[in-house]
């Protein structure tokens, strides 16, 4: 299966607090269940695709947004009401990959950074270990106070508002 182009996810989420962070990773696993990593532009081992969004920055520009590429304005903070679901459109970085038969594509959704759980890779030009997201770490307690971001988030499904992932699957040529 070939996936080439932009990826996006539509979620319906509520939080126990006034905000939430959503982190998306597209991952590939071989037939034995081992994750396959890729050399990224700023990390020597990355998943197929990454995306993230702070729920309070969910506002999009309808004139600039496309179904496969939401355009977030970041011009106002829209706090969540605890327990009340909101729609989130999450952009995932474009990708190009052919996944062999027998391999699995996994959509991973978390409330914190995606990272490989083993020892981080340290490159010669840097002293910070890398865990799969390069320099994009969201662990600063001033930006992510635990009382707001280390709580529970909830996914919601409704008959007329299903969450989904848009994948640019290229049909096989004959």
Query: Along the 174 residues of the chain, how does pLDDT read in single tens digits?
Result: 999 999 999 999 999 999 999 999 999 999 999 989 887 777 677 888 889 999 999 999 999 999 999 999 999 999 999 999 999 999 998 999 999 999 999 999 988 877 766 655 666 566 666 666 666 667 778 888 999 999 999 999 988 878 999 999 999 876
Give the separation between CA 169 and CA 31, rounded to whole angstroms.
20
| pTM across the whole model | 0.85
- Domain segments of the chain as ranges: 1-115
Residues whose CB falls within 8 Å of the CB of residue 81, separated by 6 or more in sequence, listed in order:
18
Give the separation between CA 90 and CA 122, rounded to whole angstroms.
29
β-bridge partners, 50: 25
- How high is the pLDDT of residue 129? 66
- Enter the CATH code of domain 1-115: 2.60.120.260
From residue 85, give the alpha-carbon distance in Å to each of 9, 103, 162: 16, 34, 12
- How high is the pLDDT of residue 66? 94
Count CA atoms within 13 Å of residue 150 on its CB side. 10
- How high is the pLDDT of residue 59? 98
Residues whose CB falls within 8 Å of the CB of residue 153, separated by 6 or more in sequence, listed in order:
13, 14, 15, 16, 20, 22, 111
């Amino acid at each position: 299966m070939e996936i080439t182009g932009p990826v996006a996810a539509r979620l319906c989420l509520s939080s126990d607090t006034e905000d939430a962070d959503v982190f998306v990773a597209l991952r590939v696993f071989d037939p034995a269940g081992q994750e396959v990593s890729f050399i990224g532009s700023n990390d020597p081992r990355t998943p197929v695709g990454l995306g993230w969004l702070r729920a309070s920055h969910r506002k999009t520009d309808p004139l600039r947004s496309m179904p496969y590429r939401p355009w977030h304005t970041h011009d106002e903070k829209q706090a969540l009401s605890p327990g009340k679901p909101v729609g989130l459109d999450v952009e995932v970085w474009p990708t190009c990959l052919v996944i062999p038969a027998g391999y699995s594509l996994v959509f991973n959704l978390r409330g914190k950074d995606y990272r490989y759980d083993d020892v981080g890779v340290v490159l010669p030009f840097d002293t910070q270990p890398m865990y799969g997201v390069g320099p994009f770490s969201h662990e600063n307690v001033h930006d992510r106070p635990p009382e707001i971001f280390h709580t529970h988030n909830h996914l919601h499904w409704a008959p007329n508002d299903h969450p989904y992932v848009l994948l640019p699957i290229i049909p096989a040529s004959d």
